């Protein structure tokens, strides 16, 4: 068996074309252009690269982007003031604060300051809690991208055994909750899980987001499993790899995502989706149906 390699770039391109059409409807019908504000604190090269990709994505689908660049010396209070300004700007539909932040700034305080209606990253406590009930305002972008990949490939989730390797608040936990909402049986494994292969061998769908290169080898993958690799690791020789031994596991899985070219392509795409959705809600509602946190 050789797995079908899921082309995340192609899926993202198809979705972005659909999103561009939605932007055009907003402009023609409501005279509204979706807008995303991105706040970048400091000069972390990786963060700068991620921000460039997000701004390029905005341009591709017709979203207006606003980049707020702040020095690493910015205080937490100053950053919160910038967020409050954007919360109150009715022309801005999404606010994203690029992580990581300088050590002196408390990330929870920053995330909680962003208005729920503009939390297009899906990290606010209201959105994270909403994943439990299936009533979130915005789904976190990477888990949402995983869900969209499964939908695009017509991979059944209902009744399937799903194992998520990695228990982060950004990827692992929300991915598990979103798949549970689709009636999958979900197990979350993490760095203290004993006998990892005991669990992964049971997985019809294996989602890996542990940040450990080649953690998942063929011996611990069920024949015919769907393998979604969310890992992104830079090796000493400069190569980018995921958490899965791609060459080995692709000979055993039924579907597999490559790194790069898989889930990473979808994360920014779902950010664009959430920003457009926010603009659509703002354009069609006189009052917000969502609780607002200042």
- Contacts of 54 by beta carbon, 8 Å cutoff, 6+ apart: 36, 38, 65, 96, 268, 271
Question: Which residue's entry shows tokens 């939390």?
Answer: 119
| Alpha helices per DSSP H over 32-106 | 45-61, 76-87
CA distance 56 to 44: 18
| Listed residue (264, 277, 267) closest to 19, CA to CA | 277
Residues classed as catalytic: 54, 98, 121
Is residue 231 within 8 Å of residue 106, measured between CB atoms?
A: no
- 3-state class (DSSP) for residue 236: coil
């Amino acid at each position: 068996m050789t797995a079908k390699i899921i082309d995340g770039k192609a899926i993202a391109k198809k979705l972005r074309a659909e999103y561009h059409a939605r932007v055009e409807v907003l402009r023609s019908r409501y005279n509204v252009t979706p807008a995303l504000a991105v706040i970048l604190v400091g000069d972390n090269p990786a963060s700068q690269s991620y921000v460039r990709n997000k701004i390029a994505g905005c341009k591709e689908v017709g979203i207006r982007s606003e980049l707020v660049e702040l020095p690493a010396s910015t205080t937490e209070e100053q950053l919160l003031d910038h967020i409050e300004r954007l919360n109150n700007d009715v022309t801005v539909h999404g606010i994203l604060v690029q992580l990581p932040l300088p050590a002196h700034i408390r990330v929870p305080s920053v995330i909680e300051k962003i208005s729920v209606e503009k939390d297009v990253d899906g990290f606010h406590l209201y959105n994270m809690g909403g994943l439990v009930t299936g009533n979130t305002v915005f789904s976190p972008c990477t888990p949402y991208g995983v869900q969209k990949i499964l939908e695009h490939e017509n991979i059944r989730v209902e009744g399937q055994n799903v194992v998520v390797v990695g228990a982060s608040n950004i990827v692992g936990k929300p991915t598990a909750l979103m798949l549970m909402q689709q009636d999958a049986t979900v197990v979350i494994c993490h760095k203290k899980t004993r006998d990892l292969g005991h669990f992964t061998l049971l997985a019809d769908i294996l989602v890996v987001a542990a940040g450990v290169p080649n953690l998942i080898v063929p011996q611990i993958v069920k024949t015919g499993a769907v393998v979604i690799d969310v890992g992104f690791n830079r090796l000493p020789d400069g190569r980018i790899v995921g958490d899965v031994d791609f060459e080995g596991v692709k000979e055993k899985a039924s579907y597999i995502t490559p790194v790069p070219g898989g889930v990473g392509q979808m994360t920014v795409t779902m950010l664009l989706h959430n920003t457009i959705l926010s603009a659509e809600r703002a354009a069609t509602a006189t009052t917000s149906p969502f609780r607002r946190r200042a």
